[in-house]
Chain A
Amino acid sequence: MKITIARRISQIFFVLLFFWLCLVMTLGEQWWELRGWPVNLFLNLDPLTGIATLLSTGTLYSGLLWGLVTVVLTILLGRFFCGWICPFGTLHQAIGYLAHRKKNPGQKAKRNRPSRWQNFKYLILLFFLGATLAGGLFSHRPTVEGGLLTGLLDPIALMHRSLNLFLLPLADGFSAGTRFYAGTGAIGLVFVIALGMNLWIPRFYCRFVCPLGALLGLLSRFCLYRIGKAWDECTHCMLCESDCEGACAPAGTIRVHECVLCMNCLHGCFHDLIRYQPWPSASGQQVGPDISRRELVLSLAGGALLIPGLRLGGGLGPNWDPKQIRPPGALPEAAFLSRCIQCGQCMRICPTNVIHPAGILAGLEGVWTPVLNFRVGTSGCQFNCIACGQVCPTAAIRPLSLAERQGKGEFEKRGPVRIGMAFVDQGRCLPWAMDRPCIVCQENCPVSPKAIKTQVHFAEFARRPVRRAPAKSLELGGEPLPSDALGTGDYFARFREQRRRILANTAHTLTLQSAWDRPPAPGDGVAIVIKLQRPVVDPGQCIGCGVCEHECPIQGKPAIRVTAENQSREPAHGILL
């Protein structure tokens, strides 16, 4: 079997596995739904996440240790990950192949010539690493704690995000149960543009943009085996470069750090000059990018200054955004931002579809980080659910136990995890503003005792003079009442301090549930009142789950809304003693 066939099998296997692992990240009992699948396999194997969070937090969290496998194998073998495993790379390669397959080898080789712009991805990598470094240096200053931006361009995070929030929901859209993600069009656009660039240059993203490729390129400096020419003599037919995925110039001075080990050149050469060998190429080799000191310094410094610069907006300080509600278990914002890679795993797993990618409004640093949107989805954030923290690959959302989330057992003293707090908008609430009974919010409040209490209030609906007051009924004068409207159980007739429930009515008569203790006399005024239970939030009980907001009948801008006030993760945002 040719080695390129083996490579193709590997690529197809891993791209299918990737799709599969995204698909199974669904809570449910079907065989294809979540049941111990290693859904973070690729994110864990991706050493860029590991190294960047190591720099921004000083720790290597749990599964990210798997990245070490990739690092070690890359040091020994070169960028096998890019050519053999990376599902994003496979998509690029497939599209590039389809787009250029009808061109002749000369034309194809021309597109695969090395370009100075391939250095650009190393600058992107340095820029990102610079951004994480600022944190390590100034971790005591909240405005300059480490930032993590790798997720924006990290191919694994990008692909997860694109599948989780764009492709799979798009596919779902043709079946039942559409999942919405606010602003996901932008995520799809980035994905489509990245793939579309292959129409111009194959593996455009891998060659010019990919910070993971850059990292692996730097790691491949000492790789033991490498592509190269056995002898320097060569007809320069360039056939070896016609399908060269890395644009690493195997025909001339090979760029070892650009070679993705696609092995296409091995079979292209009629003279069997190209080998996978322990020696350097007979035509010479280059083992690292030739970036100037100026480029290096500017990239690192630019990244290091970006995060403090962005944070001058005060978003981590007094200008924090109360609309930004993070999932339960999310770390304090600065620590959260030093870990979140915007992969969208939490958004995909969320059974109620309330976790959404934050748009640009969350600040450049917060783009596509998870925030809760209670208008979308099937309910609020479920009191008995801890899924998001369990899948988060970097512990930006800590893996909570159910006991910790609910404040039970050893967490009793600390109480449940609060992600925000609900506030009643009395100007929009039916019982508060419009004298209509409702309290759907109170009914749905999942905590015990309920965080939504009610205040009983009898609002006057009408007042009429009494004509006659026979037992258990009233005949009234004045304007006619709406017929059959007052027997709902919520209306009462009130005379002095006595209230009697109205069972039925006509334009001028009321049927009452019970007789008066002291009946009104003809000519006395009787009020018709409606019993209202007006919701009031108990800040000591409310966990900010947003079920009330989701269920509020005022759907456009609900009359009870959660903001991030009183969230557990930021004690400084508390409102209670």
Chain B
Amino acid sequence: MDPERKSSHLNRREFISRSLKAGAAVAGACALGYRFYDPIGPAAQPSAGNTVYLPDFSLPSQGKKLCRVRAADRKAALAAAFKGLGGVEQFIKKGDCVLLKVNAAFAAPAMLCATSHPDLVAAMVRLCLKAGAAEVIVTDNPINDPASCFGLSGIGPAARAAGGRVVLPESGLFSPTTLPGGRLIRDWPLLYGPFKNVDKLIGMAPVKDHHRSGASMSLKNWYGLLGGRRNLFHQDIHTIITELALLVKPTLVVLDGIASMMQNGPTGGSLADLKETQTLIVSTDPVAADALGAALLERKIAALPHLEMAQNQGAGTTDAQTLSPIDVNLL
């Protein structure tokens, strides 16, 4: 064959094949352009994710109950309190997943009582497991470094030794929540991750002085479920505590006034800040528990406006007597 004709034949084939590829590339580019074309531009804010809502963990069948134990030992006091309330089985059913919201706010040793006491947390974990709980989760979003808080306060090791699972507040565990009708809690990050599959919620707070709100007890303890720049809420502390009281509906709260932090709160730092008030309160009504806690701090209920605000919003009662409290004295 004539070499020139052969080469032009080859050239033609090459050209046709190349044209097809070029056509495919053009089509591909146009398809991509069409697919991703955005004539409007981005929104001002990326979507924060799906809003979550904390379920209601209270047990209407149990009604309003409160037991106040006078004691020096936390473990014995807790056992006596549940005995007084008819047994922990009244609240924890077999197979339940229980979440203990402790107060692990500061990386301080247990003896300073700036955090939930590890003995009490361990005792609560054991009680739950004994009642047949499938899992007990212990969590909080503390103020100081979380791992240090759970470690140094002793809550972490004690909870694990008792068979509980400690969940540290990693950023992926927060989701935005909104309190219906609320003013402050709107699309605000909530430590929601640990609540997956949780059936019962128990709040465990120590009784502490708090300069801004007057006192830090069961209601103020829910602050630790918030993420983000929550300290902005200090500009309106009583409203945020009230909103938290409406947002979080626990099965029970355990308010530890075996020793109360009378001054220099909520961090304390000295044994001189503490007073042996020798009282443990377990209640289905956090407002009532805090109302009794106020007395331990020698504060009037009127000096803690969030208690009355929470009561007015229907979160509980500041008059613990209406709950016919059960009093137990181990002293």
Interface residues, chain A, with chain B CB atoms under 8 Å away: 50, 54, 57-62, 65, 67-68, 71-72, 75-76, 219, 221-224, 278-280, 331-332, 335, 339, 395, 398-399, 568-569, 571-572, 574-577
Contacts and interface: CB of A to CB of B under 8 A. Distances in A.
B232 A574 contact: yes
A75 B45 contact: no
Given A59-B36, A68-B29, A335-B46, A223 B41 contact: no
B313 interface: no
Interface stretch (B14-22, B70-78, B134-142): B14-22
30 contacts: A54-B32, A59-B36, A59-B37, A59-B42, A60-B33, A60-B36, A61-B38, A61-B42, A62-B40, A62-B41, A67-B33, A68-B33, A71-B33, A72-B26, A72-B29, A75-B25, A75-B26, A222-B19, A222-B22, A222-B25, A224-B18, A278-B15, A279-B8, A335-B46, A339-B42, A398-B41, A399-B41, A571-B45, A577-B235, A577-B236
A33 to B, nearest CB: 25
B25 A54 contact: no
B22 A223 contact: yes
A60 B184 contact: no
B38 A62 contact: yes
Contacts of B21: 221-222
B18 A398 contact: no
Residue among B19, B26, B235 having the largest count of chain A Cβ atoms under 10 Å:
B26
A68 B30 contact: yes
A135 to B, nearest CB: 13
A72 B232 CA distance: 53
B232 to A, nearest CB: 6
A76 B22 contact: yes
Nearest to A68: B33
Interface in B230-281: 232-233, 235-236
Contacts, number: 87
Contact of A575 (B26, B232, B236): B232
B39 interface: yes
B6 interface: no
Contacts of A568: 44
A141 to B, nearest CB: 9
Nearest to B228: A572
Contacts of A61: 38, 41-42
Contacts of B45: 332, 569, 571
Interface residues of B, number: 31
Interface string B152-195: 00000000000000000000000000000000100000000000
Nearest to A329: B44
Contacts of A572: 228-229
B90 interface: no
Residue among B36, B44, B228, B235 having the largest count of chain A Cβ atoms under 10 Å:
B44
Nearest to A414: B44
Interface string B38-66: 11111011100000000000000000000
Interface of B: 8, 11, 14-15, 18-19, 21-22, 25-26, 29-30, 32-33, 36-42, 44-46, 184, 228-229, 232-233, 235-236
B286 to A, nearest CB: 23
A279 B11 contact: yes
A395 B39 CA distance: 11
A50 B38 CA distance: 11
B306 to A, nearest CB: 16
B22 A577 contact: no
A224 B36 CA distance: 27
Contacts of B184: 577
Nearest to B48: A571
Contacts of A59: 36-38, 42
B173 to A, nearest CB: 13
Nearest to B21: A222
A219 B44 CA distance: 35
Contact of A219 (B8, B18, B25): B25
Nearest to A280: B14
A568 to B, nearest CB: 7
Contacts of B22: 75-76, 222-224
Given A398-B42, A568-B44, A60 B15 contact: no
Contacts of B39: 62
Contacts of B29: 68, 71-72, 75
A57 B42 CA distance: 10
Nearest to A287: B18
B163 to A, nearest CB: 33
B18 A222 contact: yes
A71 B22 CA distance: 11
A187 B222 CA distance: 53
B73 to A, nearest CB: 42
A54 B14 CA distance: 33
A62 B39 CA distance: 4
B94 to A, nearest CB: 38
Contact of B38 (A60, A331, A575): A60
A577 B46 CA distance: 20
Given A280-B11, A395-B42, A54 B235 contact: no
B34 to A, nearest CB: 9
A68 B32 CA distance: 9
A189 to B, nearest CB: 33
Given A222-B18, A279-B14, A577-B233, A398 B25 contact: no
A420 to B, nearest CB: 16
Contacts of B8: 279
The 9 A-B pairs at the shortest CB distance, nearest first, are namely A59-B38, A222-B22, A395-B41, A279-B11, A68-B33, A60-B36, A222-B21, A75-B25, A71-B29
A576 B41 contact: no
Contacts of A62: 38-41
A430 B305 CA distance: 41
Nearest to A139: B46
A60 B36 CA distance: 5
A576 B25 contact: no
Given A50-B33, A68-B33, A223-B22, 10 more contacts: A60-B33, A60-B38, A65-B37, A68-B29, A75-B29, A222-B22, A224-B18, A332-B45, A395-B42, A577-B235
A460 B113 CA distance: 51
Contacts of B40: 62
